[in-house]
Amino acid sequence: MGSPLQNVFPLQKAVTPWPNSSRLRDVSKDDVSKVRRFASTTFRKCDVSQPFSSSPNPSKSFFPSDMEIPPGLETTKRKVAHSDEHGFSDDLDQVRVPNVIVMVGLPARGKTYISKKLCRYLKWTGFKTKVFNVGEYRRTDANAADAIHGANASFFSPDNAEALKVRTESARRAMEDMADYLNSGTGSVAIFDATNTTKDRRSIIIDFCKKKRLRCFFIESVCDDPAIIDSNVTDVKVNSPDYKGLMTAEQAKEDFMNRIENYKRQYEPLEESEHESLSFIKVINAGRSFKVHQVRGHVQSRVVYFLMNIHLLPRSIYLTRHGQSEYNAMGRLGGDSPLTEDGRKYAAALADFFEEEEVPGLRVWCSQKVRAAQTAQHLKPDFHTEYWKALDELDAGICEGLTYEDIQQRYPKQADDRATDKYHYRYPSGESYEDVVSRLEPVIMELERQANVLVVSHQAVLRCVLAYFYDRPLSELPYIDIPLHSLVKLTPRAYHCDSTIYALDLDTQEWAETSAQLPLCDSPRD
């Protein structure tokens, strides 16, 4: 059987255009060899948050000096087509420019909610990201004993010159810290969480980013739905540090509504004409509609993709591993073995659980492995089970079907490499946890869009999903302990995710319930 490249480029009668060539020519074995060598040498894993550096001659920094590059595939630095008013050009170096995500909108429009969700998503996908909330800077700059502490709506009046100085200084400090975070190489994306409701304030931010060589993208949250605003004020704002212990809930709500009115007096919505190179997305009424303008680059595209998939509707996400399989009982990795007797007991108990729970509109997503399908087979047909290849277990490559003891004996270097960096380690001819995160991104987007869902999958896959909803660092992701015959219920909230664990006693067929996040496992090997 031919190699993948031979299948793509058949050696007989294959015709293909080469870059920088005005004619077509046959693909020879020598051509295929060059392409193979080029691909195997250059298409290596990169840290998406820290792209490889450019140089005056990028081809020398990217390609090994001893490698012959196929005709037309030589890389040279692109000529600058133009520079916009903020100093950004079409130069190849712009790949390395850190990104600033700037929130815009009146209070109680979900800016902080969006900031935290977006930060969690970007970190999960590998971008080093941090939120800089100006309100937190203000609370440290202001005197808690005075009215300018922020627990009074007058502090946010455009007529209050003294308070305006405090707010301006707080924003300046947050911006300086943000620039230090990005330009020091500590992070690659910063989210500037503030109202930024005037054109003048946004112009200051744009000029600041231009000076610091940062790329700007604005997210404006627009909401005129009284129900959404009232819910946000009641559920979140009255319990904020500005009011906690200083006012009753009723007083806090009244004061916060007055704060909104003060901001409305000076609010100027984002407009395309504001700046020639302005890039933004407007999120209208919690995602009912969107307006996207002039998106630039990979990070901004991912931000738009994410924002157009999240919603605020209440729902629950249930996660479970398949029941015990024959390979589980033998301590072997991967494979496609069926369930054991204990595994079949769990499958029956799982169906009974959801029969009693009566979760409205529940959908079931299942991996395509036999053990997962058998675990889901007794669930009601009304649940509409879908089988996702993306939910299959991490591929252990040459170690499939082996025990950890086998791996240690046969491939001691592989065992040591995995123990050193479990998240990035890739099994030969297999996958890493990092690879699983990449293939799960569409699953996460669908989970953000859907209502109630049950996911029947595998340990490595569910670790990746839980790390996203638990907001765990990638270094902890491979160690989240997910026992067999347990069910996790996640209920996303505005600023966190509730977690309930149900553990089945196989002998009594009873579920024990605890409200907590799953801990890290004791054994670093599993």
Torsion sign, CA atoms 239, 243, 244, 247? negative
> 263 among the known binding-site residues?
no
> 40 among the known binding-site residues?
no
Q: Is 387 left (phi over 0), alpha (psi -120 to 50) or beta?
A: beta
Number of neighbouring beta carbons within 10 Å of residue 81: 8
Rg, Å, the chain Cα set: 27
448 among known catalytic residues = no
Chain centroid, CA 477 distance in Å: 13
Task: Single out the catalytic residue among 322, 431, 441, 485.
Answer: 322
Reading the block at residue 309, the tokens are: 């998939």
User: Which residue from 27, 33, 35 is spatially nearest to 11, judged by alpha carbons?
Assistant: 27
Asked whether 307 and 444 are in contact (CB, 8 A), the reply is no
> In one letter, which amino acid is 297?
G
Asked whether 285 and 228 are in contact (CB, 8 A), the reply is yes
Strand partners, 108: none
> 110 among the known binding-site residues?
no
Task: Single out the catalytic residue among 149, 275, 393, 434.
Answer: 393
> 302 among the known binding-site residues?
no
> 323 among the known binding-site residues?
yes
Asked whether 212 and 124 are in contact (CB, 8 A), the reply is no
Measured distance CA(322)–CA(370) in Å, rounded:
9
> 184 among the known binding-site residues?
no
> 294 among the known binding-site residues?
no
User: How long, in residues, is the chain?
Assistant: 526
Number of neighbouring beta carbons within 10 Å of residue 100: 24
Measured distance CA(445)–CA(32) in Å, rounded:
38
- Exposure string for 350-369, b = 16+ CB within 10 A, e = fewer: bbebbeeeebeebbbbbbeb
> 326 among the known binding-site residues?
yes
> 115 among the known binding-site residues?
no
322 among known catalytic residues = yes
* 3-class SS letters over 310-340: CCCCCCCEEEEECCCEHHHHHCECCCCCCEC
Active site residues: 322, 393
Annotated binding site: which residue ranges? Answer: 321-328, 371
Annotated binding site for substrate: which residue ranges? Answer: 321-328, 371
